């Protein structure tokens, strides 16, 4: 299985649609190419075609999720993502793969790489830092989510702001008191979009309270 074969197959599928090919078709094809060598996936990721790039990142995601993927290959997948992060240049690519490719790999390891990403000059690397913690949240571990959110709380990039709010919200579903403690400290100063994403699932009275802190 090669990058060229993936592109050819996807281009044929694309011809069946009048409008843009649905993402579900790209995800499905990527799953069929789960055995594509990682070096070929990287070649696919280098494409300037957004659908090809999404296909590449989806192959990495399927590899990371698959129970039969060896420990060595998961490490290779992780390194392919991190070492080629400059090619992962919009939020959809990050959200597709970061939880399992990065978060899943680092779950039982030193998580320092996430904190380095959180301090990166590149917005999508900072988004990867917070999005990767979704894997930890699923395991009922929310400390890293809140710690990384603290680093990114005043980030200037809209897509990082939205990610911080979204993942703090998800962590808050596991521990609402921890969420409110975080909001009590940062609600008045965090970007409004971050605040709105964070409080999205809270009751109306609580939402109004924290929105009110923002206007004081």
Q: Are residues 70 and 149 in the same domain?
A: no
Residues of the chain predicted below pLDDT 50: none
Report the number of distinct structural domains present in the chain: 2
What is the Cα–Cα distance from 210 to 207, expressed in whole angstroms?
5
Domain hosting 61: range is 1-87
**Residue 11 pLDDT:** 85
**Residue 215 pLDDT:** 65
| Residue ending a domain, choose from 70, 87, 104 | 87
Task: Find where tokens 């990721």 sit.
Answer: 45
**CB distance 201 to 170 below 8 Å:** no
**Residue 5 pLDDT:** 87
Model confidence pLDDT, tens digit, residues 6-59: 888 988 888 888 778 889 999 999 999 999 999 999 999 999 999 999 999 999
**CB distance 28 to 58 below 8 Å:** no
**What is this structure's pTM?**
0.91
**Residue 216 pLDDT:** 56
**CB distance 195 to 165 below 8 Å:** yes
Q: Are residues 77 and 126 in the same domain?
A: no
Q: Is residue 124 part of a domain?
A: yes
């Amino acid at each position: 299985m090669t990058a060229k074969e993936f592109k050819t197959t996807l281009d044929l599928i694309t011809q069946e649609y009048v409008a843009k090919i649905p993402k579900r078709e790209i995800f499905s094809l990527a799953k069929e190419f789960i055995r594509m060598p990682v070096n070929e996936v990287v070649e696919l990721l280098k494409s300037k075609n957004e659908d090809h790039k999404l296909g590449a990142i989806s192959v990495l995601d399927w590899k990371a999720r698959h129970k039969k993927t060896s420990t060595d290959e998961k490490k290779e997948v992780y390194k392919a993502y991190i070492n080629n992060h400059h090619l992962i240049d919009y939020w959809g690519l990050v959200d597709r793969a970061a939880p399992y490719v990065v978060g899943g790999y680092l779950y039982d390891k030193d998580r320092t790489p996430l904190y380095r990403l959180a301090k990166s000059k590149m917005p999508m690397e900072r988004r990867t830092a917070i999005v990767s913690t979704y894997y930890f949240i699923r395991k009922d571990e929310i400390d890293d989510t809140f710690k990384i959110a603290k680093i990114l709380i005043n980030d200037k990039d809209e897509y990082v702001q939205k990610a911080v709010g979204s993942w703090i919200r998800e962590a808050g579903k596991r521990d609402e008191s921890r969420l409110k403690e975080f909001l009590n400290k940062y609600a008045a100063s965090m970007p409004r979009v971050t605040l709105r994403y964070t409080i999205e699932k809270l009751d109306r009275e609580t939402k109004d309270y924290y929105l009110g802190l923002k206007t004081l």
